Structure 1
Amino acid sequence: MDYDKARLKIILDLNQSPLQREGLVRVYLPVGYDQSNDTYPVLYMHDGQNLFYPGSDISGASWQAGDQLDQLQIAGVTTGIILVAIDCSVENEGLGRMSEYSPWPSAPPAELANWNSKKLGMGGKGDLYVDWLTRSLKPLIDQNFRTQPERDTTLIGGSSMGAVISLYAALKYPDSFSKVGVMSPAFWFAEQPIRQFIDQTGFRERLSIYIDIGTAETSDSTVSCFPDVYLKGARSLHQQLSQKAFIKRLCLNIDQGGLHSETAWAGRFPDMLCWLLDANL
């Protein structure tokens, strides 16, 4: 089964946004959208190039998100959901993505002190990205599609650095997002600033947060400690969040042998979505 290309709409060129860079925003509509007047929850996701089909992605694989959403809806697991897919930055050999997906400059843990990577010089543009997404893009989506715009039916999610910026967006704008998919979080990128930000939050709204991690994840196969860094980061994030009053529901899903890859995230995408929607596969 393949997704219905007629239900995949390109709605924005990011050159025309405050981000002022190459990229698109795509919207994938539920099965039967044009044949009904129903309204739908909305899921905002990052790294939009990776979500639909090989060839549009930047890594050689895709999440097959459209196909998976269709199957869940047809099976009656969900009643349909609108997916908003925002392309990531490919500027500076892809390092622009690291800057947009963190409001803080990189501050890796001691285990990565000797890691020589250009990624460690990135970060700091996350507020620009999150503010635009919440204040400009979300109203545009709500005005042009039959959404359920309330926070209780607005989700945000992503993987790796996309997981970091998803969590940050929900913590900064808890009146807009209630459910967060934090897949394979690159917690190591700015661990202490993230921890401090979580501790400083004092809002009354409550969040449902899904976290997952594979036991074999790495961002550099030559750095032997990376799988442990990823695993410890996800566990410590879960532990910290579990103590917060703003948590409504919290999950940590550990994928034995799971890699840091689009294929792994595609495999866990239905689990993430169903947990956040409190639906059963």
Structure 2
Amino acid sequence: MLRSIVLFFAVAAAMLCSPATAQTPPDPGTLVQIAAFPSHEVETRPVTIWLPADYDPHGAPYDVLYMHDGQNLFRDRGAYGGNEWGVDEAVTRLVDEGRIRRTIVVGIWNTPQRLREYMPAKVFARLPDDQRQRVEILYQGAPLSDAYLKFIVTELKPYIDARYATARGPDHTTIMGSSMGGLISLYALAEYPQVFGAAGCLSSHWALFLPPDGELLPQADVDAIGAAFTGYIHDTLPPAGTHRLWFDHGDQTLDRLYAPLQEQVDRAVVERGWMPGRDWQSKVFPGAAHNEQSWRARLDQPLTFLLARR
């Protein structure tokens, strides 16, 4: 049974079932809800911390997985489209199976500034004037991603490390997200390789824009956006053998836009010397769409690659 702890007040609930007719499911742990995490860098926002059922504050330290769009991770209620990722259940099961390391998950909720906070600023700066102007119009302003990452690295992570039993080096700190959250996860690893040792980028919204339904991204945009991302990767991605990256996408809804750009990104990663299977993975999931159900269905794979037991 999931136990939620809300700062300043707690609500307890009990679920009754007949032991003769039902089995108690594995305890997926505890959610600690911070309603408004303060920051000097970005808007205050909720943060949800998931602690495994066996969490021992005095025991061996845990890895930490930081995830964007935190309201979509643990509960259907409040999640986009009413569908959660089931991260707590997935991590619990994979740890029990001995496939990943013991891990605490920190869900960072998004805000109305989501697009601006998740758009990599140094990639934005590499776009031609036309694409930069269109991004600013669509996203309602210039990127705020540098401030968002500074919030995570200098405010949120120190808070987590001070209050929980965490292993603090990059080998034990992973960041993950989907769509625009995939872009900011790659950016986090590239900008702070001394903090994040691995990044999961699911259905990364390389396209940046939203073409009309049924249409693909114009080739001029593919070329300009691809050059911006690959140039950034060539100049900034850490050396091979030190970090791990996971990329994936489907081929339905928005994900149908990503293959040409993902292929360019994959080539850039290879040109940096990263070895497939050891340093990074890039997978395509036929039939998968751009939604929480699709990401939940394949979540085991990035978790297992990024958090594999050593």
If the TM-score is normalised by the length of the shorter chain, which range does it land in?
0.7 to 0.9
Structure 2 partner of 1:235:
263
The answer as to 2:247 corresponding to 1:211 is yes
Aligned length: 262
Using the alignment, how far apart are the partners of 1:81 and 1:251 within structure 2?
21
Unpaired runs of 5+ residues, structure 1, are 219-225
Structure 1 partner of 2:155:
136
Using the alignment, how far apart are the partners of 1:123 and 1:234 within structure 2?
24
The answer as to 2:291 corresponding to 1:271 is no
3-state SS of 2:56 partner:
helix
The answer as to 2:97 corresponding to 1:75 is yes
One-letter amino acid of the structure 1 residue matched with residue 229 of structure 2 = I
Structure 2 partner of 1:13:
36
Structure 2 partner of 1:88:
110
Structure 2 partner of 1:150:
169
Match of 2:279 among 226, 249, 265: 249
Deviation at 1:277, TM superposition (A): 2.2
Contact 2:99/2:308 (CA < 8 Å) preserved in 1? no
Structure 2 partner of 1:124:
143
3-state SS of 2:119 partner:
coil
Using the alignment, how far apart are the partners of 1:136 and 1:22 within structure 2?
12
Contact 1:100/1:123 (CA < 8 Å) preserved in 2? no
Using the alignment, how far apart are the partners of 2:203 and 2:97 within structure 1?
27
Deviation at 1:204, TM superposition (A): 4.6
Using the alignment, how far apart are the partners of 2:228 and 2:299 within structure 1?
27
Structure 2 partner of 1:222:
none
Using the alignment, how far apart are the partners of 2:102 and 2:138 within structure 1?
37
Deviation at 1:30, TM superposition (A): 1.7
Give the TM-score taking structure 1 as reference length: 0.83
Deviation at 1:10, TM superposition (A): 2.0
Contact 2:249/2:285 (CA < 8 Å) preserved in 1? yes
Using the alignment, how far apart are the partners of 1:24 and 1:141 within structure 2?
14
Using the alignment, how far apart are the partners of 1:203 and 1:270 within structure 2?
25
Using the alignment, how far apart are the partners of 1:145 and 1:237 within structure 2?
36
Q: 1:129 to 1:20 in 2, by over 3 A?
A: closer
3-state SS of 2:59 partner:
coil
Using the alignment, how far apart are the partners of 1:154 and 1:70 within structure 2?
18
Contact 2:64/2:104 (CA < 8 Å) preserved in 1? yes
Using the alignment, how far apart are the partners of 1:263 and 1:27 within structure 2?
22
Contact 1:184/1:234 (CA < 8 Å) preserved in 2? no
Using the alignment, how far apart are the partners of 2:139 and 2:36 within structure 1?
29
Contact 2:101/2:307 (CA < 8 Å) preserved in 1? no
Contact 1:27/1:83 (CA < 8 Å) preserved in 2? yes
The answer as to 2:73 corresponding to 1:51 is yes
Per-residue CA distance 1:108-133 (angstroms, 9 max, x = gap): 89xx9xx9996355551110101111
Structure 2 partner of 1:159:
178
Deviation at 1:203, TM superposition (A): 4.6
Give the TM-score taking structure 2 as reference length: 0.75
Contact 2:179/2:202 (CA < 8 Å) preserved in 1? yes
Deviation at 1:34, TM superposition (A): 3.5
Which one has a bigger Cα radius of gyration? 2
Structure 2 partner of 1:221:
none
Contact 2:67/2:105 (CA < 8 Å) preserved in 1? yes
Determine what percentage of the aligned residue pairs are the same residue.
Answer: 27
Match of 1:37 among 56, 59, 68: 59
Contact 1:101/1:123 (CA < 8 Å) preserved in 2? no
Per-residue CA distance 1:158-203 (angstroms, 9 max, x = gap): 0010000000010001011111101101112254432222122275
Structure 2 partner of 1:101:
118
Per-residue CA distance 1:75-130 (angstroms, 9 max, x = gap): 332342010110011x2xxxx21000013359989xx9xx9996355551110101
Per-residue CA distance 1:219-263 (angstroms, 9 max, x = gap): xxxxxxx71x21222222122111114666110111011100011
Per-residue CA distance 1:38-57 (angstroms, 9 max, x = gap): 21111111000100111121
